[in-house]
C-alpha cells in the first residue's frame, strides 16, 4: 500500500510521497531482518534457490506440472528477492533525490549537487518505480496461476501465513 501511495503521489503531494517512501524503506529493512531471524518459510535460506531451479520451475509451470511447495516456490522466492532489491533501490534513490533537490531528509547535506546528477537520479528513481509496478503485476499473475494449478488460495496463505500441508484433493 505504501508503495502505491508513493507511486500515485509522485511530485504532487511531496510530503505524503516522502513518508510513504520512508514507510516502504522501513518495511523492506524489517523484511530483510525477518529473512534471517523469522519463521521457517520466511527465512531466505528456505526459498532462495539457484537460477537453474527457478528456470526449471517456470518451465514446469508452463507445462502445468509445477510441484507444490509448502513455502515459497523457486519463482516466488526469486521474485521476493528481486522486489526487495528494487524497493531498496527506489527508496535509496528517493533519499538522495530528497536530499539533493529539497535539501531535506537524512541526506540534506547533498543539496547543491549538479543538476545532471539530480536529473539522473530522478530518471533512475522513476524508472525503478515503474519497473516495480510491472513486477507487482507479474507477481500477482504468478500467484493467480499457482492458485489455479494447485486449487488453493495462495492470497489467503500470503496474508495469514498458513497453508495446509496436505491440500484437499481435487478432480
Over range 65-85, report the average pLDDT: 92
- Is the pLDDT at 154 greater than 90? The verdict is no
pLDDT for 162 equals 76
Local confidence band at 54 (pLDDT 50, 70, 90 cut-offs): very high
* Residue 169 domain flag: no
* Residue 166 domain flag: no
pLDDT for 156 equals 80
What stretch of H or E contains 85? Answer: helix 74-102
* Residue 168 domain flag: no
User: Domain residues for 93?
Assistant: 2-160
Over range 157-170, report the average pLDDT: 69
- Is the pLDDT at 170 greater than 60? The verdict is no
The 10 Å Cβ neighbour count of residue 129 is 20
* Residue 167 domain flag: no
The structural domain count of the chain equals 1
Cα separation of 83 and 46, whole Å? Answer: 17
* Residue 165 domain flag: no
* Residue 110 domain flag: yes
* Residue 129 domain flag: yes
The string of pLDDT tens digits covering residues 126-148 is: 999 999 999 999 999 988 888 88
Secondary structure in 3-state letters for the chain: CHHHHHHHHCCCCHHHHHHHHHHHHHHHHHHHHHHHHCCHHHCHHHHCCCHHHHHHHHHHHHCCCCCCCCCCCHHHHHHHHHHHHHHHHHHHHHHHHHHHHHCCCCCHHHCCCCHHHHHHHHHHHHHHHHHHHHHHHHHHHHHHHHHHHHCCCHHHHHHHCCCCCCCCCCC
Q: Average pLDDT, whole number, for the chain?
A: 89
Cα separation of 66 and 154, whole Å? Answer: 15
* Residue 171 domain flag: no
pLDDT for 167 equals 63
- Is the pLDDT at 104 greater than 70? The verdict is yes
pTM for the model: 0.86
pLDDT for 41 equals 86
Over range 142-164, report the average pLDDT: 81
Amino acid at each position: 500500500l505504501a508503495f502505491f501511495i508513493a507511486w500515485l503521489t509522485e511530485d504532487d503531494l511531496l510530503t505524503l510521497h516522502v513518508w510513504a517512501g520512508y514507510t516502504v524503506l522501513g518495511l523492506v529493512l524489517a523484511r530483510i531482518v525477518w529473512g534471517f531471524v523469522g519463521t521457517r518459510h520466511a527465512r531466505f535460506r528456505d526459498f532462495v534457490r539457484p537460477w537453474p531451479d527457478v528456470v526449471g520451475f517456470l518451465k514446469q509451470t508452463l507445462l502445468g506440472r509445477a510441484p507444490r511447495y509448502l513455502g515459497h516456490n523457486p519463482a516466488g522466492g526469486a521474485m521476493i528477492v528481486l522486489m526487495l532489491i528494487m524497493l531498496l533501490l527506489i527508496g535509496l534513490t528517493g533519499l538522495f533525490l530528497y536530499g539533493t533537490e529539497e535539501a531535506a531528509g537524512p541526506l540534506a547535506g547533498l543539496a547543491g549537487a549538479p543538476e545532471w546528477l539530480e536529473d539522473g537520479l530522478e530518471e533512475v528513481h522513476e524508472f525503478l518505480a515503474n519497473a516495480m509496478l510491472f513486477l507487482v503485476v507479474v507477481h500477482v499473475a504468478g500467484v493467480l496461476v499457482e492458485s489455479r494449478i494447485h486449487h488453493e488460495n495462495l492470497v489467503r496463505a500470503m496474508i495469514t501465513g498458513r497453508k495446509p500441508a496436505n491440500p484437499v484433493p481435487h478432480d
